A and B are shown apart, each in its own frame.
Chain A
């Protein structure tokens, strides 16, 4: 196992409420990622982090913010949840940027299932 813990694993929330998903790693990896996976779209990058307090947007960042105050924790926040944010969210980690070291790639947490009603 890659030493990644996501919490909560399942959550149902109401439209307009804030939601924070937490990703915790024990590998001391520099890079951390948040993806969402939806039918017909595959995995899409929301935000990623390349170090403490260093984050950047991914493909589908609108409506999401992130924070990384410690190497081991990467938080994803939905400031005001909408039904379109119902999805499964995966955190991932990598030691270095994928492709920069031969064979280096990313490893995923078990996922957080979020339903916005």
Chain B
């Protein structure tokens, strides 16, 4: 099982739609979780952290299921400007050395159409 897996998409949705992305991770002891957004030919930017109790930021809701080792991102009322690639990011246990550095999923591409 790969460390962090995402459906690559693309997800093609109309404006106003609700879309959900899932991400699974292999290391059950992982400690921190994030969603990043990356526009074409741009750097990844932090969208939101994912907390155990779930968290919301405007139209975006992130949830964590530790038992099943997956993270989700829900986008409500999609906008054209939401079109981007969404990266799932996991922080495995910090055992020193290169351990503990962030592991990035390959990303899920979202295209919101008029």
A residues apposed to B, CB below 8 Å: 33, 40-45, 48, 56-59, 90, 97-100, 103-111
Contact = CB atoms under 8 A, between A and B. Distances in A.
A48 B101 contact: yes
Nearest to A88: B41
Interface string B70-114: 000000000000000001010100100110111011110000000
Contact of A42 (B41, B49, B94, B104): B104
B102 to A, nearest CB: 5
B40 to A, nearest CB: 12
B98 A43 contact: no
A-B residue pairs, 4 tightest by C-beta? A99-B91, A99-B32, A42-B106, A108-B43
Given A90-B43, A98-B91, A106 B102 contact: yes
A59 B34 CA distance: 20
Contacts of B94: 97, 99-100
Interface of B: 31-32, 34, 41-46, 49, 87, 89, 91, 94, 97-98, 100-102, 104-107
A98 B32 contact: yes
Given A42-B104, A42-B105, A105-B34, A48 B98 contact: yes
Interface centre among A43, A45, A48, A111, by most chain B C-beta atoms within 10 angstroms, is: A43
16 contacts: A42-B87, A42-B104, A43-B44, A43-B87, A43-B104, A90-B44, A97-B101, A98-B91, A98-B100, A99-B32, A100-B94, A103-B32, A105-B49, A107-B46, A108-B45, A110-B42
A104 B61 CA distance: 19
A106 to B, nearest CB: 6
Given A97-B94, A99-B32, A105 B46 contact: yes
A67 B51 CA distance: 35
B98 A57 contact: yes
